[in-house]
Amino acid sequence: MSTPVMIEASHLTKYYGDFPAITDVSFSAQKGEILGFLGPNAAGKTTTMRILTGFMPPSSGAASIAGYDVVTESLEARRHVGYLPETVPLYTDMMVKDYLHFMGTIRGMEGKAIQRRISDVIQICRLEEYYKAHIAKLSKGFRQRVGVAQAILHEPEVLVLDEPTVGIDPIQVVETRQLIKSLGGERTIILSTHILPEVSMICQRVIIIHEGEIVAMDTPQALAERLQGAERIQLEVAGPMGQVVRTLRAIPGVQDVTFTDLGDRRSAYSVISRRGDEMRANLAKAVVEQGWGLLRLETVSMSLEEIFLRLTTTEEA
Amino acid sequence: MRNILSIAYKELVIYFTSPMAYVVAGVFLALTGVFFIDSVDQPFALASVRGLLRNTAFFLMPLIPPIMTMRLFAEEQKLGTLELLLTAPVRDYEVVMGKFMASFAILATMVLVSLFYVVVLIFYSDPDLGPVLSGYLGMLLYSSTTLAVGLMASSLTGNQIVAATVSFGIILLFSVVGNVSAVVGGAAATVLENLSLISHFEGFAQGVIDTSDVIYYVVMSAVFLFLTIRAVESRRWR
CB A198 within 8 A of CB A180: no
Picking from A224, A257, A291, the residue at the C-terminal end of a domain is A224
Nearest to A89 among B7, B17, B83 (CB): B83
Give the mean pLDDT of A83-93: 91
Q: What pLDDT score does A316 carry?
A: 38
- Model pLDDT, residue A270: 83
pLDDT per residue as tens digits for the range A126-158: 889 999 999 999 988 899 999 999 999 999 999
| Residue A317 binned pLDDT confidence (cut-offs 50, 70, 90) | very low
Sign of CA dihedral A285, A289, A290, A292: positive
Chain A contact set for B84 (CB, 8 A): 83, 85, 89, 103, 150
Q: In angstroms, what CA-CA distances link B146 with B30, B64, B222?
A: 20, 9, 11
Q: Are residues A100 and A138 in the same domain?
A: yes
Asked if A184 and A294 sit in the same domain, the reply is no
> What average pLDDT does the structure give for chain A?
85
Whether the predicted pLDDT of A315 surpasses 50:
no
Query: Given A203, A224, A245, which residue is the final one in a domain?
Result: A224
The amino acid sitting at A227 is L
Rounded Cα distance, B118 and B127, in Å: 8
Report the CATH number that the domain containing residue A40 is assigned in CATH.
3.40.50.300
Residues A234 and A211 in one domain: no
Contact by Cβ (8 Å): A160, A52: yes
Q: Is-above-0.80 flag for pTM? A: yes
Give tens-digit pLDDT for B26-79: 999 999 999 998 888 887 777 788 888 889 988 999 999 999 999 999 999 999
Residue at A317 is within a domain: no
Report whether pLDDT(B218) > 50.
yes
State mean pLDDT over A31-58.
Answer: 89
What string of H, E and C letters represents the secondary structure of chain B? CHHHHHHHHHHHHHHHHCCHHHHHHHHHHHHHHHHHHHHHCCCCCCCCCHHHHHHHHHHHCCCHHHHHHHHHHHHHHHHCHHHHHHCCCCCHHHHHHHHHHHHHHHHHHHHHHCCHHHHHHHHHCCCCHHHHHHHHHHHHHHHHHHHHHHHHHHHCCCCHHHHHHHHHHHHHHHHHHHHHHHHHCHHHHHHHHHHCCCHHHHHHHHCCCCHHHHHHHHHHHHHHHHHHHHHHHHHHCC
The pLDDT score that the predictor gives to residue A304 is 62
Q: With the C-alpha atoms ordered B195, B198, B201, B202, is the resulting torsion angle positive or negative? A: negative
Distance from CA of B83 to the nearest CA of A (A): 7
Q: A25 in a domain, yes or no?
A: yes
What pairing do the DSSP bridges indicate for beta strands A81-84 and A158-162?
parallel
Measuring CA to CA, which residue among A59, A89, A45, A52 is closest to residue A74? A52
Q: What confidence category does residue A310 fall into, taking pLDDT thresholds of 50, 70 and 90?
A: low
CA torsion through residues A74, A76, A79, A82, sign: negative
From chain B, the residues in CB contact with A106 under 8 A are 3, 6-7, 85, 88-90
Q: Is the pLDDT of residue A18 over 60?
A: yes
- pLDDT confidence bin for B8, thresholds 50/70/90: very high
Q: Which of the listed residues A179, A194, A224 is the one where a domain comes to its end?
A: A224
Residues A26 and A90 in one domain: yes
Q: Which domain holds residue A81?
A: 5-224
Q: B3: nearest CA in chain A?
A: A106
The confidence band for B146, taking pLDDT boundaries of 50, 70 and 90, is very high
Chain B residues with CB-CB distance to A87 below 8 A: 80
Does B165 contact chain A (CB < 8 Å)? no
For B42-60, letters b (16+ CB in 10 Å) and e give: eeeeebbbbbbbbbbbbeb
Check whether residue A70 and residue A188 sit in a common domain. yes
Give the pLDDT confidence score for residue A312 in this predicted structure. 60
Same domain, A114 and A249: no
Q: Are residues A158 and A247 in the same domain?
A: no
Q: Average pLDDT of B179-199? A: 83
Total domains in chain A come to 2
Give the rounded percent of residues in chain A with a pLDDT score beyond 90. 38
Amino acid letter, residue A182: S
Longest Cα separation, chain A: 81
Q: Which residues of B169-205 are buried (b: 16+ CB within 10 A; e: fewer)?
A: ebbbebbebbeebeeeeeeeeeebbebbbbbbbbbbb
Cβ of A103 within 8 Å of Cβ of B84? The answer is yes
What is the distance between the alpha carbons of residues B178 and B186, in angstroms, rounded to a whole number? Answer: 13
**pLDDT for A301:** 65
Q: What is the ipTM of this complex?
A: 0.86
Q: Which of the two residues, A120 and A230, has the higher pLDDT score?
A: A120
For residues A210 and A251, state if they share a domain.
no
What are A232's strand-pairing partners? A272, A300
Minimum mean pLDDT range among A195-204, B158-167, B204-213: A195-204
Query: Which of B3, B10, B84 is the closest to A89 by Cβ?
Result: B84
**pLDDT of A103 above 50:** yes
Least confident of A150-164, A190-204, B204-218: A190-204
- How close is the nearest chain A Cα to the Cα of B234, in Å? 9
A→B contacts (Cβ < 8 Å), by residue, are: 50, 53-57, 75-76, 78-79, 81, 83, 85, 87, 89-95, 98, 102-103, 105-108, 134, 150
Look up residue B31 and give its amino acid.
L
Within a domain: residue A29?
Answer: yes
pLDDT at A171 over 70: yes
- CB nearest A94 (choices: B13, B85, B90): B13
Cβ contacts of residue A3 below 8 Å, gap of 6+?
A30, A31, A32
- A183 plus A240 within the same structural domain: no
Give A263's pLDDT tier (boundaries 50, 70, 90).
confident
What residues in B contact A81, CB-CB < 8 Å?
87
A52 to chain B: closest CA residue = B87
Q: How far apart are CA A118 and CA B165, in angstroms?
A: 40
How confident is the model at residue A136, as a pLDDT? 92
Q: Which residue of A has its CA nearest to B98?
A: A106
